[in-house]
Amino acid sequence: MTSFLEITIRLAVWLLLAPLLPGIINKVKAWVAGRRGPPLLQLYYDLAKLWRKGVVLSTLASPGFLAATAFSWVAVLAAALLLPLGPWGTSLSFRGDVLLLVYLLALARFCTAGAALETGSAFEGMGAAREVSYAVLAEAAIITAVLTLSVQSRSLSLEAMLAPSAGAGAALLAAGLFTVLLAENCRVPFDDPNTHLELTMIHEVMVLDHSGPALAAVLHGAAMKLLLFSALLVQAVLPLGTLPAAAALGVLLGGVLAVAVGVGLVESLLARYAFRRVPLLLTTAFLLCVFALLVAWKGGAA
């Protein structure tokens, strides 16, 4: 019974806190630009509005279109439940759960791309192609980062991997993971979440045909993925396991907030990269993680 209650609370935290993060990022962007900006809770209003609306479906779309969208949202939520939250731990921990986390995220991406292809629009097929071609590079980086953490802690379960700090290579790992966070969540140097210019979009292209509750699921899933990556980054870099519980929770929240502010600043100060320069940046992130892995290896050997 207690475990049921615990999972309910955990679900509520993930579901309710996630849409706050894009709000913070937008506030930071507005503040840098000297505007007042949308309210902090804008995404909640948007989600509520979208939920009440009807769905317009492409005539080509099979039931798989809505199913894939729902699948992708559930996959992100399941991945989020696997991630420990500082002192709170995780409700489900087993050897190798980190692999499940990586593959659930991949499954979510597969479903989004599948739903985009389902509409039969050539334009959305192009967006799906862009998305997966960057994902190949980003995935190499994130698997290397996971490998680093696993070598560092000599363990394959997330709870044990994320408790200690990343050691000497922490700065390298932080830079690499932050770049991956920007790429995975379609933030500015890779993709502009605000643009609706056809030639520059990646993620926005794929969801053009979603409307009403389906679009709400996509938006909410994206916000949860952002929160997931921020929490992963903070816990991978900072030694939360060595702090007392209250302090660790505070550090985790502060860290996630700092990541959101960092994303907002990057987004205000950088321009979107040209498509052909993106692989270079993702390769850099991969190399940063590789060097963090080497440092972890050397530290482990000595």
Q: Which residues are near another protein by CB under 8 A?
A: 279-280, 283-284, 287, 290-291, 294
Q: Using the minimum distance from each CB to another protein, give the nearer residue, 12 or 280.
A: 280
d(CA 23, CA 43): 7
- Smallest gap from residue 297 Cβ to another protein (A): 11
Using DSSP's 3-state secondary structure scheme, residue 191 falls into: coil
Closest CA to 239 of 175, 295, 171, 163: 163
Q: Please, which residues have CB within 8 angstroms of residue 49's CB and are 6 or more apart in sequence?
A: none
Measured from the CB of residue 241, what is the shortest distance to another protein in angstroms? 25
Cα–Cα nearest to 160, from 240, 42, 104: 240
One-letter amino acid for residue 218 of the chain: V
When the beta carbons of 42 and 284 are compared against another protein, the nearer one is 284
The Cα–Cα gap between 217 and 26 comes to 20
Separation between Cα atoms, residue 160 and residue 279, nearest integer Å:
32
- The C-alpha atoms of residue 253 and residue 295 are separated, in whole angstroms, by 28
CB of 294 to another protein, least distance (A): 7
* Residue (270 or 280) nearer to another protein, CB: 280
- Based on CB atoms, which residue is closest to another protein, 155 or 284? 284
In this structure, how many other beta carbons lie within 10 angstroms of the beta carbon of residue 222?
Answer: 26
CA 32 to chain centroid, in Å, comes to 24
Shortest distance, position 165 Cβ to another protein, whole Å:
18
| Nearer of residues 64 and 279 to another protein, judged by Cβ | 279
CB proximity list for 216: less than 8 A, separation 6 or greater: 46, 47, 50, 51
Min CB(63)–another protein separation in Å: 41
Q: Considering the complex, what minimum distance in angstroms separates the CB of residue 277 from another protein?
A: 8
CA distance 186 to 273: 12
Least distance (Å) between residue 287 CB and another protein = 5
* Assigned token pair, 130: 């862009």
Which CB sits closer to another protein, 120 or 279?
A: 279
Q: How far apart are CA 149 and CA 161, in angstroms?
A: 6
Report the residue number, 268 or 284, with the smaller CB distance to another protein.
284
| DSSP class per residue in 58-89 | -TT--THHHHHHHHHHHHHHHHHHHS--GGG-
Q: How far is the CB of 279 from another protein (least distance, A)?
A: 6
For the chain, the straight-line distance linking the first and the last C-alpha, in angstroms and rounded, comes to 47
140 vs 257 by CB, closer to another protein = 140
